[in-house]
């Protein structure tokens, strides 16, 4: 499928839909036990990953966290390799050794993810320092959640970035919960964006992909920068859970979850495109892409990726320690 080269709106929509449909395709394999690795899904948070990564250049780098399927795909990661990694196959992006929370694709600037809270923030600062020392025109991005704002390494990283004037963007995906704890119980201020030491900082609607994209473009002119993107995960902390599949047992109030579904970033952006139309295309042509052509293309890609993972070979036992620390 070839999209109009000048239509950023369609690109943003397609990338969000790719992430959503891929993760939805994981529901059944997770629940049936076919997928063994814990999967922290970003359903509901796609606009942050897409808005930020699509504002970056190929030479810029991204560091993820435990919930990074979206970051990986938005930065240009191969969907088939991601699926294979989740299935633990040799063809995975981490050779089947990492699973959902340890994914990497250095070739496209996705430098890695880790389940350690705030574990990659300092690494992003190190990359930004290297860029400055080498006089390279590149930017590092650190993605982390509001729960990471309770980790000392975040403040150490903010401090060094400010002192050394580093080319880095800190992106706090504030979904209101650190695992199961509401932010008001673990953070002394209302908004994490008030915490940065001397960074250009702003608070935005993380469910509005246009605002995320435009803010990231602006942040590149004010480095180091801190963006707090307010968003919400529609699944539970790990796996699809019953918010998607049936009876409500989530610790979060059911009314709260239902209220946030109204602000689903993909559906609201889809309605915006259909209601307003967009540049470079006639209304009829654009609607056909949004309603049919893009979803059909995405579904085909997801189906191919899952089938690739299922039919790929397992790592050989004799190679299990290859590429890992002994």
Q: Domain map of the chain by residue range?
A: 8-304
pLDDT of residue 90: 93
Residues 6+ away with beta carbon under 8 Å from 111: 61, 62, 63, 104, 120, 123, 124, 127
What residues does 275 pair with on adjacent strands? none
Say how far residue 126 (Cα) sits from the centre of its chain: 21
- How many other C-beta atoms can be found within 10 angstroms of the C-beta atom of residue 316? 9
CATH, domain range 8-304: 3.40.50.970
Say how far residue 148 (Cα) sits from the centre of its chain: 15
What residues does 61 pair with on adjacent strands? 140
| CB-based contacts of 263-267 (< 8 A; 24+ apart in sequence) | 263/207, 263/232, 264/44, 264/207, 264/234, 265/16, 265/44, 265/45, 265/46, 265/47, 265/206, 265/207, 265/208, 265/209, 265/231, 266/13, 266/16, 266/17, 266/20, 266/46, 266/47
pLDDT of residue 276: 67
Residues 6+ away with beta carbon under 8 Å from 134: none
pLDDT of residue 191: 74
For residues 293 and 267, the answer to whether their CB atoms sit within 8 Å is no
- The residue ranges of the chain whose pLDDT is under 50 are 1-6, 279-284
pLDDT of residue 229: 96
């Amino acid at each position: 499928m070839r999209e109009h080269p000048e239509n950023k709106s369609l690109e943003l929509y397609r990338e969000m839909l790719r992430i959503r449909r891929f993760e939805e395709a994981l529901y059944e394999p997770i629940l049936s036990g076919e997928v063994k690795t814990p999967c922290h899904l970003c359903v509901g948070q796609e606009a942050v990953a897409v808005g930020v990564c699509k504002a970056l250049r190929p030479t810029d780098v991204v560091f993820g966290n435990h919930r990074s399927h979206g970051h990986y795909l938005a930065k240009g990661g191969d969907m088939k390799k991601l699926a294979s990694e989740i299935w633990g196959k040799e063809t995975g992006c981490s050779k089947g050794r990492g699973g959902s929370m340890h994914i990497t694709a250095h070739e496209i600037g996705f430098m890695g993810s880790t389940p350690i809270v705030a574990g990659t923030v300092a690494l992003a600062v190190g990359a930004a320092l290297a860029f400055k020392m080498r006089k390279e025109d590149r930017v590092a991005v650190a993605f982390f959640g509001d729960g990471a704002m309770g980790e000392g390494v975040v403040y150490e990283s903010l401090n060094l970035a400010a002192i050394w004037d580093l080319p880095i963007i800190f992106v706090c995906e504030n979904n209101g919960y650190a695992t199961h704890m509401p932010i008001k119980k673990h953070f002394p201020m209302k908004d994490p964006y008030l915490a940065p030491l001397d960074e250009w900082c702003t608070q935005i609607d993380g469910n509005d992909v246009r605002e995320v994209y435009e803010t990231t473009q602006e942040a590149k002119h004010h480095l180091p920068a801190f963006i707090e993107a307010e968003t919400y995960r529609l699944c539970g902390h790990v796996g699809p859970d019953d918010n998607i599949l049936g009876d409500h047992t989530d610790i979060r109030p059911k009314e709260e979850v239902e209220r946030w579904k109204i602000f689903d970033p993909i559906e609201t952006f889809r309605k915006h495109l259909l209601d307003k139309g967009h540049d470079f295309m006639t209304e009829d042509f654009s609607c056909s892409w949004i309603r049919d052509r893009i979803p059909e293309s995405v579904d085909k890609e997801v189906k191919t990726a899952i089938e690739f993972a299922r039919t790929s070979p397992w790592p050989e036992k004799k190679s299990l320690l290859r590429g890992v620390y002994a």
